[in-house]
Structure 1
Amino acid sequence: MEISSKLIRFSPHEVENHLELSLRQAYNNLQPKLRPPFSLEIPDPQEYLELNKAIVYGVLSDSGSCKTHIKHLHALVTDGYAFFTSLLVGIVVEFYGKLVDSAKIQLLWATKEMIGVSSVGLEDLIVSLLRRIGSGDYSDQNLWLCSELVSLFLENWDCLLEEFPLVLTSALYSFLRLLADHCRVIGVAKLENVKRLEIRFCVKMFREEPDLCLKIGRDLLRLLQDLVHVPEFREIQNGLVVNRCTSSRYFFLRITPEMEIQLRFLLGNVKLGSHKRHQMWFLKKFLLGPEKETVLIDIVRFVCCVIHPTNETIRSEIMPRWAVIGWFLELSKQSQHIERSVKLALFYDWLFFDERVDSNIMNVEPAALLMVWSIPQYPQITHSLLEYLLNLVESYELSRRDMVARGVASAFRDIERKGVIRSLDILIKNAAVASDLKKKLAKLLAPVNLQQLSIPSEKTLPSSEAVLKECSTKVVGVVDNPDQKLGQFC
């Protein structure tokens, strides 16, 4: 059967999307009921659902009749627009990238209509749209979505502030992070307009709703650090003290649904020895192209703070988080700025670590294990990470330097105390670690009475250490086309 849809583009031989098909069928089946005069009869529950599906399809596929369809929806709605909004969320999550341009325009129009009626589930819809703004993507469509959403927040400020204030906090996280990338690109006219809108919204948040801004937690400082060169943000972070952990809800904002699915699959199902092809697929799908590597910052933060494997997974032959992050670090070396930012994303919870607040050791575990299990075969990785961390402690801004030193020392102690590594001697007394780094680390940890345990030999390493033997975390090949940077493991 030939596929015919006014909403999405189909590739040859592509399987139909079940949600799109159900919307289209409802629209075709209920055509007589979608035109005025509308029936005054109260629809039964099943018919109500079908009418919602038909109206969604009509709104997105026919801009000329969308206002009529919305009036119809207003007349029959009985659930606070919950089902209608959930259908819009499903569209954004499942096939936003396949929508034709006119349908995307209508989708944003429908979202504004749902803001006007404070629909049930509106938060999910807006967050889903925020996740669709791609990092390192300066295409017309992506900049259009970014511009539309930031304008949406500015135009509907009062309504959102009263009804859905945390949506504004999510938007602040997203646009601060996007600004860090956007401000690195100069001379793109459309991007300049987007940057002005993003700066206007973010500054408005800081000036008018500082309490909402602080709800982001400690990652707010990380985001502002990349914007210190922007005059409007230069003074904002001065004196800002936030030690509350950042909720995982914010780390989803810069990861697309498809990327999340693949990361969870890679870290939950792929065994050592069969990981290369999955990594190469992930690289080709999400990381190729100019500026695309900026998303590595968000991926590493997401893996550290959101993907927390079970003990069963940790004990299995599944690819461990620290090994995947090691791969991402190597990919980030195409740019010194990106590499530094990825390392900061990896170590950020270390800087403000407080065992009273940071009860979950999983956020700092990947960096610790990557440093330890790299020593036998790849000591340069351990050296690079430890050097970065210790230099960061020494060079951090003066007003927070003592707090950062206490945080990093506390993270090391908790890592040892909770058995993530058996002893800090693995780093402090290992001949493979540079002597100056060992001295700096020992000085940092001087108040701690370290247990004198032997350094594990290569034979005592767990089976997961084989990942760094199986796959050198070095990029050894780059395709001639600069837009086709295909990193390959040894």
Structure 2
Amino acid sequence: MEKGNPFVASLHEVENQLELSLRQAFESLEPKLQPPFSLDIPDPQESLELTRAIVYAVLCDSGSSKTHIKHLHALVTDGYAFFTSLLVGIVVELYGKLVDSAKVQLLWLTKEMIDVSSVGLEDLLVSLLRRIGSGDYGEQNVWLCSELVSLFLDKWDCLLEDAPLVLTSALYSFLRLLADHCRVTGIPKLENVKRLEIKFCVKMFREQLHLSLKIGRDLVRLLQDLVHISEFKEIWNDLVCSDVSKIYQSKTSSRYFLLRITPEMETQLRFLLGNVKLGSHKRHQVWFLKKFLLGPEKETVLIDIVRFICCVVHPTNEIIRSEIMPRWAVIGWFLDLCKQNHHVEGRVKLALFYDWLFFDERIDSIMNVEPAVLLMLWSIPQYPHITHSLLEFLLHLVDTYDIACRDMIMRGVASAFREIERKGVVQSLDMFLSNPEIATDLKKKLANLLSCHQDIN
């Protein structure tokens, strides 16, 4: 590879400070990056600058990579923490600006950091996983997915010893990606990726089940989308035959929901839900739509966005009381976007209601279930069909989601409703039970559910 700028030049953007610091370090210290290296011990500031220069040099030129990495080994006194933090910064802030050859070098450096068990390794790998776009079957995205799943397989033993929890992050990511990948045909390189994803996920379940189960209840949701794949049928049966209720009772950590949201998407969603007022939200929605959701298969990311909004974005009371666009309104818009695709719509609704099914006020946050109930409530005056559709879906889940655990699910949904009333999210459940806009049969089913729950307790 010829030397060159590892970043795509842009005439209209303010130069990123991280990119600038790397380039300036390289330009000022380039002579010191060539052997023979100085035997003098650099002072702390020069050591930092040399580290920045080495990162830039490796991204520029694969031919000298091994020389530069030996130089780094001689410099390091912090367990590679600073070097790895620079790589994380590049992935989070600059990945989209990297030229293709620099992306190859970045993956090479990541493998080197695995080999030396660097401090911050898990953050680096998680940041890379977040860079695999949902619904993106372009050559670069398929390449990154292939590289990362291969990396997790090739470096299995190292990662199991040094960063075992990152394997659960990879499992969550590849299970979720696999569900989308299996719905797409005709892309030869993707077929190979699917085989690798299946191999990695099955290996996790067969060899590290205790790690796999750390994902919690969302593991079951992800697996459900894969039971049609022969390799997962036996895993599914084993899971269902064991005490699956224990998995349902284990809340999934919010860190997993970030895995399928790119850093840019996270920034824009947090801005939309933290700064944009109702009434001036349309142009922001249009921008978000054009940036992240246009294109075939792109709408599958709505499943992950809704899960992210429910479980990660918990606004302060100040924001809740303000005119800022509420979570329920954004989710209502997303549901409208996918209403033509019934498969995606069903999975988005499941993402919205999933924590309702196993709700336990001792461990679950009321904020996870708040968007769904407010969307149902505020839709009644003008859009009662939305309320009807959502309530019908929820009550259907109670009856059919897992018949063996139906009592547990009934308790969960009823507990969610009671906690919603107790915490004042809605003034009274009579707003549903006595509302003339809601179909009589749905009101009756809901009333029965709530009364049964009272009997159980």
TM range (shorter): over 0.9
Matched, 1:370 2:375: yes
The amino acid of 1:265's aligned partner reads F
Contact kept, 8 Å, 1:123 with 1:167, in 2: the verdict is yes
Residue in 2 aligned with 1:393? 398
Give the aligned partner of residue 232 of structure 1: 231
2:442 is the alignment partner of 1:442: no
| Cα contact 2:125–2:166 (8 A) shared by 1 | yes
Match of 1:82 in 2: 81
Query: Which of the two has greater helix per residue?
Result: 2
Aligned partner of 1:142 in structure 2 is 141
User: Is residue 2:54 matched to residue 1:55?
Assistant: yes
Ranges in structure 1 where 5+ consecutive residues have no aligned partner:
451-490
Deviations 1:253-286 (A, max 9, x none): 0000000000010000001111001111111110
State the partner residue of 2:272.
Answer: 266
* Contact 2:414 2:453 survives alignment (8 Å): no
**CA distance in structure 1 between the aligned counterparts of 2:302 and 2:270, rounded to whole angstroms:** 15
From 318, 336, 340, the equivalent of 1:334 is 340
What is the SS of the residue equivalent to 2:325? coil
Which residue in the other structure is 2:127 paired with? 128
Task: Answer yes or no: is 1:188 the counterpart of 2:187.
Answer: yes
Q: State how 1:196-207 maps to structure 2 within 5 Å.
A: 196-207=195-206
Aligned pair partner of 1:429 in 427, 434, 438: 434
Instruction: Report Cα offsets for 1:170-222 as digits up to 9, x if no partner.
Output: 00000000011001112321111000000000000000111101110111011
Per the TM alignment, residue 396 of structure 1 is displaced from its structure 2 partner at its CA by 1.9
Alignment of 1:464-475 (within 5 A): none
* 2:97 equivalent in structure 1: 98
**Does structure 2 conserve the Cα–Cα contact (< 8 Å) formed by 1:394 and 1:401?**
yes
User: How many angstroms apart in 2 are the aligned matches of 1:105 and 1:401?
Assistant: 49
Counterpart CA distance in 1 for 2:287 and 2:30 is: 43
Residue of 379, 382, 393 corresponding to 2:384: 379
Q: Is the contact between residue 370 and residue 382 of structure 1 (CA under 8 Å) also seen in structure 2? A: yes
Counterparts of residues 15-414 of structure 1 (less than 5 Å):
15-237=14-236, 238-239=240-241, 240-241=244-245, 242=247, 243-358=249-364, 360-414=365-419
CA contact (8 A) 1:5 1:24 kept: no
Q: In the TM superposition, what whole-angstrom CA distance separates every residue of 1:100-126 from its partner, at most 9, and x where no partner exists?
A: 000000000000000000001111100
| Contact 1:251–1:298 under 8 Å retained in 2 | yes
Check conservation: 2:411, 2:453, Cα contact below 8 A: no
Shift of 1:417: 1.2
SS, match of residue 364 in structure 1: helix
**Distance in 2, Cα, partners of 1:13 & 1:392:** 50
CA distance in 1, matches of 2:409, 2:140: 41
Counterpart Cα distance in 2 of 1:57 and 1:383: 56
CA distance in 2, matches of 1:153, 1:429: 54
Q: Distance in 2 between matches of 1:322 and 1:269?
A: 15
- What's the offset of the Cα at 1:5? 6.0
Shift of 1:398: 2.1
Report the Cα distance in structure 1 between the residues aligned to 2:450 and 2:4, rounded to whole angstroms. Answer: 64
- For residues 6 and 174 of structure 2, the distance between their equivalents in structure 1, rounded to whole angstroms, comes to 28
229-238 vs 382-391, greater mean Cα deviation:
229-238
Aligned partners of 2:437 and 2:252: how far apart in 1?
Answer: 35
Q: 1:236: Cα distance to partner?
A: 2.0
Aligned pair in 2 of structure 1 residues 328, 381: CA closer, same or farther (>3 Å)? same
- Which aligned runs of 4 or more in structure 1 are off by greater than 3 angstroms? 447-450
Superposed CA offset, 1:322-343 (max 9, x none) = 1111001111113111100000
Tell me how many residue pairs correspond in the alignment. 446
Structure 1 vs Structure 2 CA RMSD? 1.3
Q: Find the residue that maps to 2:170 and give its secondary structure.
A: helix
Deviation at 1:448, TM superposition (A): 6.0
Tell me the TM-score normalised to structure 2 length.
0.96
Structure 1 residue 52: deviation in Å?
0.3
Is the CA contact (8 Å cut-off) linking 2:126 and 2:169 kept in structure 1? yes
CA distance in 1, matches of 2:9, 2:388: 49
Go from structure 1 to structure 2 and tell me whether the alpha carbon gap of 1:449 and 1:230 turns closer, same or farther (over 3 Å shift).
Answer: closer
| TM-score normalised over the length of structure 1 | 0.89
Q: Which secondary structure state, in structure 2, belongs to the residue aligned with residue 113 of structure 1? A: helix
Specify the code of the residue in structure 2 equivalent to 1:341.
Answer: R
